[in-house]
C-alpha cells in the first residue's frame, strides 16, 4: 500500500486527486473546506486537518494551490509539510513562479525532502478527462518515483530539467501564450462582428486557416454560446500572465506585446471580473468595440 497525499481540492485539484483512487493507494487529503473533503472521505480517503497531518502519513505529497503565498505556507509554515514525519517527496503542481518554488525547495531541503516542480497544463477540462500534460523538474530519482502517479492524473510527463523552477518557467511560457491569444482572438473577432461578419462563420474560417489556436478551437465555443464557463477565472489568468511578465523582466527578456495583454487582464480583474470565468473577458472587449461575439439564431 502506497500512502499518497494531496493538498488543495479546488477546481483543478479535486479532479486530479480523484484519479489517484485505486488499488494499492491510500489517499490522504487536506483542504480547509469540509465540503471539498467530504466526497473524498466518502470514497475512502483520509482527511487531515493540516498539510503537516498529510505529510505525517504520506511519503509523497502533491499540492495544487491557488497562490505562491498559500503554497509557501502549506510547505514551510508552522503546519507545513516540512514538519511531516513520513514525507520524502513534495510535488508542487501550482503555478507560482520559479522564485517561489526555489524558496520552497530550499526550505524542504533542510529536512531532506525532495521537491519536484510539477505544474500541469490542460485546464479544468483536461483535469476532468485525465488528459493533462505534466511537466516535471527535479532530481531524476524523485521525478522517476513520482511519474507513475502523474501518469494516473494526466496523459504524459515531460521532464524539463533537474532544477526546480524550470518547469514553472515552461508553464509560464504556455500560459502567457494562452492569455495573450485570448485577448488577441477576442479583439479580432470583435472587429469582424462590428463589420457584420457572422461569428460562427469567422470561427470556422479561422480554424480552417492560419489563425487557428487552442483559443479559437476550444475556448471560443464558450464565448459564442454565451456560456462563459470554460474553467479558469480571470483572476487566475491575471496572476499567470503577471508572473510571466515578471519572470521575463528578471531574465532581461522584453515582452512588448505580452505586456499589453497583461494590462487587459489586470484591468478586467480590477474592474469586477476577477471571479468570473476567463471567457467573460469577451464582455469587456465587446463593450469597448460596441459589438457582440455570439452565435446568431439560424433561420
Question: Would you list the DSSP string of 31-47?
Answer: -S-HHHHHHHHHTT-EE
Q: Tell me, what DSSP letter sits at residue 64?
A: -
- Express each pLDDT in 167-188 by its tens digit: 999 999 999 999 999 999 999 9
To which residue does cell 520559479 refer?
Answer: 98
Rounded CA-CA distance 118/143 in Å is 9
Checking if the pLDDT of 125 tops 90, the result is no
With beta carbons less than 8 A apart as the criterion, state whether 46 and 27 touch. yes
Question: Which pLDDT does position 160 carry in this prediction?
Answer: 96
Checking if the pLDDT of 231 tops 90, the result is no
Question: Which pLDDT does position 167 carry in this prediction?
Answer: 98
Checking if the pLDDT of 297 tops 90, the result is no
Rounded CA-CA distance 109/113 in Å is 5
- Express each pLDDT in 40-85 by its tens digit: 999 999 999 999 999 999 999 999 999 999 999 999 999 999 999 9
Delineate the domains of the chain, giving CATH numbers in brackets. Answer: 2-162 (3.40.50.720), 169-289 (1.10.1040.10)
Provide the total of helices (H) and of strands (E) in the chain, helices listed first.
14, 9
pTM flag (> 0.75): yes
With beta carbons less than 8 A apart as the criterion, state whether 269 and 235 touch. yes
Question: Which pLDDT does position 175 carry in this prediction?
Answer: 96
Question: Which pLDDT does position 73 carry in this prediction?
Answer: 98
Checking if the pLDDT of 135 tops 90, the result is yes
- Express each pLDDT in 95-120 by its tens digit: 999 999 999 999 999 999 999 999 99
Secondary structure class of 128 (helix, strand, coil): helix
Checking if the pLDDT of 148 tops 90, the result is yes
Number of CB atoms found within 10 A of residue 56's CB: 17
- What average pLDDT does range 270-280 have in this prediction? 97
Q: Tell me, what DSSP letter sits at residue 10?
A: S
What percentage of the chain reaches a pLDDT higher than 70? 100
To which residue does cell 524550470 refer?
Answer: 166
Checking if the pLDDT of 257 tops 90, the result is yes
Amino acid at each position: 500500500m502506497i500512502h499518497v497525499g494531496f493538498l488543495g481540492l479546488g477546481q483543478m485539484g479535486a479532479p486530479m486527486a480523484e484519479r489517484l483512487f485505486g488499488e494499492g493507494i491510500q489517499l490522504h487529503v487536506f483542504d480547509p473546506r469540509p465540503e471539498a473533503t467530504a466526497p473524498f472521505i466518502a470514497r475512502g480517503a483520509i482527511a487531515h486537518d493540516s498539510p503537516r497531518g498529510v505529510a505525517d502519513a504520506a511519503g509523497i505529497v502533491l499540492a495544487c494551490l491557488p497562490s505562491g503565498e498559500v503554497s509557501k505556507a502549506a510547505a514551510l509554515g508552522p503546519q507545513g509539510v516540512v514538519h511531516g514525519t513520513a514525507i520524502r517527496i513534495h510535488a508542487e503542481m501550482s503555478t507560482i513562479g520559479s522564485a517561489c518554488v526555489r524558496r520552497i525547495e530550499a526550505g524542504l531541503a533542510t529536512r531532506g525532502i525532495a521537491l519536484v516542480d510539477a505544474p500541469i497544463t490542460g485546464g479544468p477540462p483536461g483535469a476532468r478527462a485525465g488528459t493533462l500534460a505534466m511537466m516535471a523538474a527535479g532530481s531524476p530519482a524523485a521525478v522517476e518515483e513520482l511519474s507513475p502517479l502523474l501518469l494516473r492524473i494526466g496523459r504524459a510527463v515531460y521532464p524539463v530539467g533537474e532544477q526546480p523552477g524550470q518547469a514553472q518557467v515552461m508553464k509560464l511560457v504556455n500560459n502567457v501564450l494562452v492569455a495573450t491569444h485570448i485577448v488577441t482572438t477576442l479583439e479580432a473577432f470583435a472587429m469582424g462582428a462590428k463589420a457584420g461578419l457572422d461569428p460562427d462563420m469567422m470561427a470556422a474560417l479561422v480554424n480552417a486557416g492560419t489563425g487557428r489556436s487552442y483559443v479559437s478551437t476550444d475556448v471560443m465555443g464558450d464565448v459564442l454560446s454565451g456560456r462563459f464557463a470554460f474553467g479558469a477565472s480571470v483572476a487566475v489568468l491575471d496572476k499567470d500572465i503577471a508572473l510571466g511578465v515578471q519572470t521575463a523582466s528578471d531574465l532581461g527578456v522584453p515582452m512588448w506585446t505580452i505586456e499589453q495583454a497583461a494590462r487587459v487582464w489586470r484591468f478586467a480583474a480590477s474592474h469586477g471580473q476577477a471571479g468570473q470565468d476567463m471567457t467573460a473577458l469577451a464582455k469587456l472587449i465587446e463593450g469597448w468595440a460596441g459589438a457582440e461575439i455570439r452565435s446568431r439564431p439560424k433561420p
